[in-house]
Structure 1
Amino acid sequence: MYRYVQAEKAKNPKRSIGRLCRLLGVSTSGFYDWAKRQREPLRGRAAIDAELLAQIRLIHGRFPYYGAPRIHRTLRDKGIAVGRHHVARLMRLHDLRARRGPIKSRPRSAPPARRPDVGDRVKRQFSALAADRLWFTDLTAIRTGEGFLRAAVVLDAHTREVISWATDGHETPKTPIRALVDAVRMRRPTAGCIIHSDRGYQFTAHDWHDVAAKHGLLVSIGERKSALDNAAMESWFASFKNEDIYPNGPIKTKAEARSRLFDYIWDYNNHRLHSALGYRSPISYAKLAA
């Protein structure tokens, strides 16, 4: 409004502030008070909000997939006393949103007739009292300009930490096996650790069950075409794609896709706040539990 009035005065010096204020339906004194406030530094609540907004923008720039709950927790960890609704209000006013993307999937599962001897040992209980008692795994396809990159990930139920991962430029049952062998080599779980997956053909193959039995792992498989039976792993892949793949645009090469996956896993394990862990990163939660 102030700039508008100045522009009108420049066009026609004879036109008074009072006439413009009458045309705009405001009082002359109110206009001068408002113009004076615009020239003065912010004070009180406005100054607090401006400083808080700067911190929110800083965190959101580092983690663009954070919404109000995670940004609020990060601010509290920095020693900034603020309410979650206050953070949400500022983000809403300034159009700061968690960067997400669409989730598209086409489930492929083996019929119940294959491996009827293997059931669901988890029953949608996705937590464990200690590390290396329950692992989740699954496969996903990452679209690139060179075709799909297939990626397998192994996740610990207690800390939600990504233990290992493997990729291949084509679809093969060996991808999840390599990820599983790497996880066993790094963690060396005691006999009886459960490895849970969906009913994909890779996880009903004899090679998969032979490797699991060799290392004392108990195989668990969810029901056919039921993504909720492996929701912890499905949720991880959804976060990866919504927070990194979709927002950052098309991937040109499979090498770039591998790099993006590695960077996200590193950030996820070491820095990303996880709501199921009391808004701690998996690594910090593991240290706390230890």
Structure 2
Amino acid sequence: MVERYRQTYTITAILSALSVPRSTYYRWLDEGAKSALTEVEEAIIALCKITKYRFGHRKIKKLLKERYKLNRHRNTVQSIMQRHNLQCRIKPKRKWKSQGESVIIAPNILQRNFVASASNQKWVTDITYIQYGSSTMYLSTIMDLFNNEIVAYKMYDNQKTSLIIDTLKDALELRGNPEGVIIHSDRGSVYTSYAYQDLFKKNHLVSSMLRRGNCWDNAVIESFHSNIKSEEFQYVKSNSLHNSHVVEKVNTYICYYNEERILEKLGYLTPKEFGAQAA
């Protein structure tokens, strides 16, 4: 009865009407009701399991309403998730390391404006290392800021210029060779190389680079790389997998990210869904 009427009345008022002491009620919750899950609890546990415990209470609240037609306050959802130890893993803060001298420096055109009104206006790119295989691998990705979709990615056993050039060529081919795209990166030696910048000129692209020592200027793609490590590899020890398995897991996660992972920025739609609606 408390669960049924708590959306309308306070727990104190309900218990007073039933002449049940608060201490008795909460003792019953702790002892007698541990094995009896409510409909909401069962739904939340199922959603957390389906999403591999990657979502926080806000996204779970949204899915709870969409898939189970159960509308609960986010504090209620958070409380249930905490009670059953279903909290998503917090990403560790990234420490910025200054890079060496550059060859070609582009201005910071993006200026932390991570919003685009259409696809192929603004792309962000970066490289991150993946240390879960038998040897270190390097993942290069390009993201469209319109819907945060990963446009293209490559993973090699080195971080030479060919890694980012091949990633950019794939992105251009997949998007029909658009011109005038602002592509934002850091000042790493591969991005400031003559070969990479020459590709910009040939394809009529606009290069933008973050300020030295300021990782927040490329926060969106940095966040994605943090997500793939904390979500897909959260229970994997370093150098514990075969490289082919690492590649498979990266492919699986990026497919999941584009097609299944809902984003608050997109109104709780996936990147693909948001892009399809805009089209």
Equivalent residue runs for 1:231-242 within 5 Å: 231-242=219-230
Per-residue CA deviations over 1:236-260 (Å, capped at 9, x if unaligned) read: 1111111112334444122111111
Q: Tell me, yes or no, if structure 1 residue 109 matches structure 2 residue 124.
A: no
Q: Could you tell me which residue of structure 2 aligns to residue 265 of structure 1? A: 254
In structure 1, the residue matched to 2:107 is 119
Q: Which residue number corresponds to residue 21 of structure 2?
A: none
Partner of 2:88: 98
Q: CA deviation at 1:176?
A: 1.2
Mark the runs of 5 or more structure 1 residues left unpaired by the alignment.
1-29
Q: Render the CA deviation track for 1:81-115: whole Å, top value 9, x for unaligned.
A: 2221211111122221103454555635243x632
SS of the equivalent of 2:128 reads strand
| Residue number in structure 2 paired with 1:83 | 73
Unaligned runs of 5+ in 2: 1-23
The residue number in structure 1 matching 2:273 is 284
- SS of the aligned residue for 2:136 comes to strand
Question: What is the match of residue 16 of structure 1?
Answer: none
Q: Secondary structure at the match of 2:190?
A: helix
Q: Deviations over 1:206-260 (max 9, x none)?
A: 1111112211111111111210111111111111111112334444122111111
| Change in 2 beyond 3 A, CA 1:143/1:105 | farther
The one-letter code matched in structure 2 to 1:148 is T
Judge conservation of contact 1:65–1:100 (CA < 8 Å) in 2. no
1:232-289 Cα deviation digits (max 9, x unpaired): 1111111111111233444412211111111110000001011211221101111111
CA contact (8 A) 1:274 1:280 kept: yes
- Which of 196, 207, 211 is 1:208 aligned to? 196
TM-score, scaled to structure 1: 0.79
Asked if the contact 1:212/1:219 (under 8 Å) is kept, the reply is: yes
Does residue 275 of structure 1 match 2:264? yes
User: If you compute each CA radius of gyration, which structure gives the higher value, 1 or 2?
Assistant: 1
- C-alpha change, 1:120 and 1:255, in structure 2 (3 Å) is same
Structure 1 contact 196–219 (Cα < 8 Å) conserved: yes
CA 1:149 to 1:59, structure 2 compared with 1: closer, same or farther past 3 Å? same
Partner of 2:185 in structure 1? Answer: 197
Identical counterparts, % of pairs? 26
Q: Is 1:176–2:160 an aligned residue pair?
A: no
Structure 2 letter corresponding to 1:175? L
Q: Comparing 119-128 with 163-172, which one deviates more in the overlay?
A: 163-172
Q: Check conservation: 1:100, 1:247, Cα contact below 8 A.
A: no
Q: Which residue in the other structure is 1:166 paired with?
A: 154
Q: CA RMSD in A?
A: 2.2
**Contact (CA 8 Å) 2:103, 2:194: kept in 1 or not?**
no
Matched residue, 2:4: none
- 1:160-219 Cα offsets, whole Å, 9 max, x none, are 000110011123111111111000000025321111101111100011111122111111
Check if 1:134 corresponds to 2:134: no
Shift >6 Å, 4+ stretches: none
Matched pairs, number: 247
